Structure 1
Amino acid sequence: MFVQARTVLNILFQFILLVHGLECRGVSFEDERRIANMQDHRVTYAAGLAASRKHRGVLYTHNDLYRQEPFVYAINESNAAIISTLRLFPAENQNWEDIAVGPCGDKSCIYIGDSTQHKIYRVEEPDYIYTDQILADVSAVKINWNYTFASLMVDRHGNVFIVQSHTNDNRLIGRLAVSQWNSTHTVNLVTTNLPHLPRMRDSDPKSADISPDGAELLLLTHHTAFYWKILEDSVLTSIKHQYTELPTKTSKLVKGIAWDAQGRNYYELSVGDNTTTPSLYIYHRL
Structure 2
Amino acid sequence: MRRIIAVAVACLAGVGLLSTPASAADDEQIIFRFKDRRITESSGLAVSPLHEGVVYTHNDSGDGAVFYAVGSDGRTRATYTLRGVRAQDWEAMAASKDPVTGQSTLWFADIGDSLDRTRPDVSIYKVAEPRVLRDATVSATRYRFSYEDGPRDAEGVMVHPRTGRLYVVSKEFSGGLYIAPKRLRTDRVNVLRKVGGAPPMATDAAFAPDGSSFVIRTYAYASLFRAPDDLIVKILMPGLHQAESIAYTLDGEALLAGSEGVNSPVWRVPMPSEVVQDRRSPRLR
Count of residues in correspondence between the two structures: 240
Which aligned pairs between 1:260-271 and structure 2 lie closer than 5 A?
A: 260-271=249-260
Separation in structure 2 between the aligned mates of residue 187 and residue 101 of structure 1, nearest angstrom: 20
Equivalent residue for 2:91? 97
Amino acid paired to 2:230? H
Equivalent residue for 1:122? 126
Separation in structure 2 between the aligned mates of residue 72 and residue 37 of structure 1, nearest angstrom: 16
Which aligned pairs between 1:121-270 and structure 2 lie closer than 5 A?
A: 121-129=125-133, 131-136=134-139, 138-145=140-147, 146-156=151-161, 157-165=163-171, 167-168=172-173, 170-180=174-184, 182-194=185-197, 197=199, 200=200, 204-229=201-226, 238-270=227-259
Match of 1:75 among 54, 63, 70: 70
Distance 1:99 1:91, change over 3 A: same
Query: Aligned residues: percent identity?
Result: 21
Separation in structure 2 between the aligned mates of residue 27 and residue 118 of structure 1, nearest angstrom: 41
- Unaligned residue ranges in structure 2 (runs of 5+): 1-8, 10-19, 113-120, 274-285
CA RMSD of superposed structures (Å): 2.2
8 Å CA contact retained: 1:30, 1:283:
no
TM-score w.r.t. structure 1 length? 0.77
Report runs of 4+ in structure 1 exceeding 3 Å deviation. 24-31
8 Å CA contact retained: 1:48, 1:256:
yes
Separation in structure 1 between the aligned mates of residue 181 and residue 22 of structure 2, nearest angstrom: 31
Deviation at 1:86, TM superposition (A): 1.2
Separation in structure 1 between the aligned mates of residue 27 and residue 152 of structure 2, nearest angstrom: 33
Q: Deviation per CA, 1:124-164, whole angstroms, max 9, x where unpaired?
A: 101112x111112x111111131110111110122111111
- Unaligned residue ranges in structure 1 (runs of 5+): 1-16, 18-23, 230-237
Amino acid paired to 1:74? A
Structure that is richer in helix per residue: 1
| Larger of the two Rg values belongs to structure | 1
Structure that is richer in strand per residue: 2
